[in-house]
Every structure is written in structure tokens, then in C-alpha cells.
Structure 1
């Protein structure tokens, strides 16, 4: 039995709650992962995991052992990255998950410079607007817009996206140009709905002007849970959009989208990097986070907020 492989297999099964998921993320067969954990339990003479046909649950002894194993694995990685060569050139596979519009418009165009700086980092980038299970899916970190509500995650505020309301000329020709946001609740106006991935509820538009704050739900004929599809629906004239300005800029410059409600203001959408508290911040993860911070400083600089430090 390779003790390192066994410890890694046990930690991954404990995190994922599944031998199958652990095997996938470790690029091993399920049989190999099962045998490694069984061999570890036999060596320790302790049952670490309770297995049923539906789920895998960690035992009390297993939970205590897991905490020490995670620290040990982190220390081992620390020992590797403490070498000057490793610090100079972070390397290895890094799994991240990012929103689809941000990937298409900001991250992908900048990736050549990232890989020129860190040629030994292999990025596996999940691109979606869904909420991922960082531990279960073995994701090192996620980049997300909006408040992070999971208190178990370590979160870093890296930027603020400025927002705006837009509509396609074809929509405005058909429905007329609204002069006040409240008109979006009129029966003849339509919005494009953006669904929150967990609840499936459509997010409202919230804005303010001269002390007046307004929340508009609107009426939609289509609602989606993907940013690129949301933008495409608005450009196609299916309704009024509420979205980050960086997504609309090119289309507005070409006349495919028209900004609405001049003078109305929106709270910026915060951008966060989040990762599990037990996930060691390796040199490659730190390099990626620092790169994201640099990008956001250009495309979505932190906005000053009364009573809140920009950190």
C-alpha cells in the first residue's frame, strides 16, 4: 500500500461522500480507491467510513483522522512548494469554476499572458453560472458574482461589476422606450428573466435615484440561468436586460443594445473568489487568485462603500 495514495484517497472520499466521485477526481479506478481505503482501515484497525448502497458517511474516528490527514497532506505540499524552484514556477493542475460571460469576455482573452507567466499550471476551467459543490466536485476555487451565502467557504472580494439596463432596438420599436423603471411592471413591457441557479427564482432589478429606491420584477416571456444565453435573448429583442456593463459594451457600441434609465444608479455586483477552508492555498492557487485580482482591478475595480473596507 502506498500510504500517500491511501491518505489522499481517504481524504477525497470523505470530502466527496462518494467513492465514484473521488475516483474521478483522482484519475483512478473506483476499485483502486476502494482498495486503498480498505488497506488503510486494515492497517489502522479502525473503521473510517460507513458505506451503504446510497452514500458514504465518515465515522467519528474517521472525522478526527481526516482533520490530521488534511493538515499532513497540506504540509507535504508546502514542503514541495517551499523549494525555490517551485515558488518561482508554480505548477500542477488547478480546477476552477467561473461564470460563462466572464470567461468569454475577460478571462479567456487574458489567459495567454497567464500561461506565459505560469507555463507549468494546467487550468481545468468549468464555465457555467451554476452553483458548484466545491468539495464534492473537487474544485479548488470559484469566481462568482453576487453575495456568497455559504458560511463554510473562505471568500475574497476581488472586484465590483458596474450594472446597467439595456434593450434591443427591435424591442423598443415594438414596445416603446420606457422612461421610468416602474414602467417595466406594465402589462405591455417584457424583461428577460435571469434565474438563480439554486432556487430557480427570477432576480428582480433594484435601482435608485434622488433617494427613491425601486425594485422591479417585470414580466418575462423567457427566463434562463446562463449569462451568455441571457445576453443573447436581450439582443434578440425578447425583453429588457439588467446586467454588468462589460457584457453589454460591445453590443451597445454596435447599436445592438440601447442603455435605459439615465440617472438611475445600481449597487455594483461584487465579485468573489471562494474556496473551501480545508483546501490548502498552494502556490498555483495563490498565483491564480493574484492574477484574478489584477484582472479585476482593470475590468471591475473595487467600489468604495460607506462603512466597508475594500478588502
Structure 2
């Protein structure tokens, strides 16, 4: 009978497409991963993986075994903890990905309390603003803002992140404080333009259409175009133009007075925020605990 450890190693190798990356994510030597999969193949009497110098791919038998084995391991984990949810400490590695600004401003300041509650848990936190590949990069859970982008993933909606309009006091002193959309034109306001790709079409100034659930955009001029959330907020702080940003990222600047909220009745559309996993059966106690905690952390910023 194949061991559960060898099955876990096989699943990680299959999903990451690499013995080296799988071994690194599991904290074991590459040789151990290779040996475990080879012994698993010998025990089953079939070849599970096609191996080349550059890649590892599932065979037909490997795909069938992978699908069943993943569900079996999830059931085993549930059986182990079904009577000890509150008594058994969380152990092992948890690999997650977070948007950079949320990680910096909101999650990391709150993380010591989570670590204190689960001291035996090993957290690997990636912070990037690109859409990572959960399966190939070995993530247990990711926090995603905006569209999920892959219908095969399992998403749990947390709500929507509140957005605000803001500018620096120095900028408002030069241009005046807008009270209406028309003021944005009459006072010749400028905005900091943001897009994920430099040179792309600016998004424009977003505002709600009164009396409906729809939003529209107003084209405003701007001399600065950035492709980073951090740079976008820094440009607003420097007085280079108006910005529309998530409350979680600039709350401290609003509280300190470094930024001032404007047009509070015309805030842009809140951004959808979701916790995403690759498979529904991957919701281990570690993942469930982290998902519940991060939802609590983000609740004050959700519309």
C-alpha cells in the first residue's frame, strides 16, 4: 500500500511540474521527492509521470490517479481532525499570495496575532500584483482583487473593498476643492493616471450615476501615468493630481491629513475581493483558519 507521504509528494510534483520546485515547497530534498514518486510507481505497477530534462508531465494513468488521490488525501485530513478541531494545534506549511499593498498596509501589521494563536504554523507569503498560477506555483490560497480570471478555480467572495477619492492639501490649495463633477472641469483638475501597462488607455475618473447602480467615467487630463499601486498613491501624496484608491491603502494618510477625501458622495465602484483555492477539497484546517482570519482583518474595509 503506497504511503500517504509518497502520494502527497506525487501530487505536489504533478501540480508544479517539477521535482525541484515541489521539493522546495515541501521543505524536502529533491532526491527524496524523486525516490518517493519512483517507489509509488513501483507499488502501483504503472508509470505516473513522463520525465524529461526540462519538464515533468502526467501520463494518462497519472492523471487518473492524481484526480482520485487528491480527493482521498483531503478526506484523510478531514478524518484526522474531525473530533479535534479546537484541541489540535495547526501545523505545517501554508503558502499564500496577497496583493502587495494589502500585504504591506493591512495583513502584515495584523499577522503577529495570527502567529501567536498558531505558533506551529509555517507561513510562506508571496506578495505580488500579478495573477499567480495557484496550481503550478503551489499556493494553498490567494487573495484576489477584481475578476478571478479562471473559471476552474474555487472563489469565496468576501465583499467589496471601499474606494475613496483623494488629493493632497497642497494640490487642493492650488486647484480648489471640487464639490461636484462640474467642478472637476471648471477648476481644471488633473488626475494621476493608472493602468497595469504603461502606455495603455487611462481608466478615467469613475463616478456613480445617481439613481442607478451603474458607473461612468469622466476623462480628465493628467501629466503622470503609472503602473504601480504604490507609485500611484505616492503621486497623490506628492500633489501630482487626484487619485481614486482603496481605503485600506490610504487610510493612514487620510487620518494624518497627508491626503484629504473629496467628493465623498461620488466614490468609485468598490472592488470585488475573493479568497481563491484551486480545489474545493483543498480546504484543510490550515487554509480554513487563514481564510477566516483574513476575512476578519479585511472586514472594516469592505463595503
| Structure 2 runs not aligned, ≥5 long | none
Aligned residues of 2:81 and 2:88 also touching (Cα < 8 A): no
CA shift in 2, pair 1:181/1:222, >3 Å: farther
The yes-or-no answer on 1:58 pairing with 2:58 is: yes
* Partner deviation per Cα, 1:245-269 (whole Å, 9 max, x = no partner): 2322221233322323343133221
Match of 2:224, SS?
strand
Match of 2:196 in 1: 195
**1:169/1:258 contact within 8 Å kept:** yes
Aligned to 1:265: 267
Q: Which runs of 5+ in 1 are unaligned?
A: 304-311
Match of 1:117 in 2: 117
1:136 aligns with 2:136: yes
User: For residues 25 and 265 of structure 1, do their structure 2 counterparts lie closer, same or farther at Cα, with a shift above 3 Å needed?
Assistant: same
SS at 1:156's partner residue? strand
The CA distance in 1 between the partners of 2:201 and 2:92, in whole Å, is 38
Tell me the residue number matched to 1:223: 226
- Please give the root-mean-square deviation of Cα atoms over the aligned residues, in Å: 3.2
What is aligned with 1:300?
301
Structure 1 range deviating more: 175-184 or 1-10? 175-184
In structure 1, the residue matched to 2:108 is 108
Paired residue secondary structure (1:110): helix
Instruction: Tell me, in whole angstroms, the C-alpha distance in 1 between the residues paired with 2:261 and 2:77.
Output: 50
Q: Distance in 2 between matches of 1:80 and 1:19?
A: 28
Deviation at 1:141, TM superposition (A): 0.6
How far off is 1:112 after superposition?
2.8
Q: Give the TM-score of the pair, scaled to structure 2.
A: 0.83
In 2: Cα distance, 1:47 partner to 1:39 partner: 11
Q: Which residue of 1 aligns with 2:257?
A: 255
Aligned residue pairs, count:
298
Say whether 1:180 aligns with 2:189.
no
Structure 1 position 164, deviation (Å):
1.4
Give the alignment's TM-score, normalised by structure 1.
Answer: 0.81
Q: Distance in 2 between matches of 1:272 and 1:259?
A: 26
| Superposition deviation, residue 151 in structure 1 | 1.0
